[in-house]
Amino acid sequence: MPELPEVETIRRQLAPELRGKRIENLFVLDPKWGSPVGAAELRSVIEGRTIGDVGRRGKYLIFDLGDELSLICHLRMTGNFLYDADPEVQYQRAVFELEGGHALRFTDPRRFGTAEVIAGEPALDRYFAGRLGIEPFSGELDGTALRGLAAGRRTPIKAFLLDQRQIAGIGNIYADEALFRASIHPMREAGRLTKAQYDLLAVTIVEALQAGLDAGGATIDDFRHSDGLYGGFQNEFLVHRRAGEPCPRCGTEIRKTVVAGRGTYTCDACQKRPRGTKPRSAVRRASRSGQRP
């Protein structure tokens, strides 16, 4: 699933292309994309409008359509916006025909991506207030803020990081990378880190996201840039998807377990596992090696 760096990469590519362009036609090829609003209604609201800026909150793209009208799109698992792509590209769900013969195509093989039109700034604020927490690059994310949000929470710190209502934009890749950078095990209780760990984690979250952004995002599954090219951050993961490889810091074998229902990658030497927690893959490992986990 595209996370903050992937969505921001798309935004940075689309914004200069789309800014000031009039939407001449909107073809909704999959009515589920804008549901519950029907394709005809979506067309009537959007066609003829000129795109202003393209913004982002968390993993949402926000297309400013003027008159305080915003089109809010979430890519979910496999959504992509392709600018001036091959008209025959697969899995198109919506096509924006723009002035000058340009086109913006939304492709989405798994069809979980969504689109919504929101009218008025207050409604836009309310929409995000209920869904998204701190924006990592806003300057508001520091150890004190993190500690305040996590206070009293017994959920694993990884599950806490994946909760968009706490911090917006982090998904499975960047949670693993930020926790490794901070030498914090993903199973640690969110509310029981040390002050120094909250301070460090606030820094490593931003560092991990920035590294992803610098590489143009990570391409696993279907993520592509708006020009169809791929991001490169998957080649720079420190631990994510590196099971069996040596830890870049200490050489211990990186292992994959399951935390918060997600495949999770750790160096158990650098990220000390909290007492009383067992890795989910322990049984299988024990039977293979003939040793106790």
Instruction: Give yes or no: 2 in active site.
Output: yes
Residue 140 or 253 having the CB closest to Zn ion: 253
Binding Zn ion by CB under 5 A: which of 12, 49, 249, 262? 249
Catalytic-role residue among 2, 5, 136, 186: 2
Binding Zn ion by CB under 5 A: which of 57, 223, 267, 279? 267
Catalytic-role residue among 59, 93, 224, 256: 59
Residue 81 or 265 having the CB closest to Zn ion: 265
The pair of structure tokens assigned to 39 is 């394709």
Binding Zn ion by CB under 5 A: which of 36, 100, 101, 250? 250
Instruction: Give yes or no: 140 in active site.
Output: no
Q: Please state the closest distance from residue 240 (CB atom) to Zn ion, in A.
A: 14
Catalytic-role residue among 76, 131, 262, 273: 262
Q: Does 244 bind Zn ion (CB under 5 A)?
A: no
Residue 41 or 253 having the CB closest to Zn ion: 253
Q: Does 183 bind Zn ion (CB under 5 A)?
A: no
Residue 132 or 247 having the CB closest to Zn ion: 247
Q: Does 252 bind Zn ion (CB under 5 A)?
A: yes
Q: Catalytic amino acids?
A: 2-3, 59, 262
Q: For binding to Zn ion (CB under 5 A), which residues are involved?
A: 247, 249-250, 252, 267, 269-270
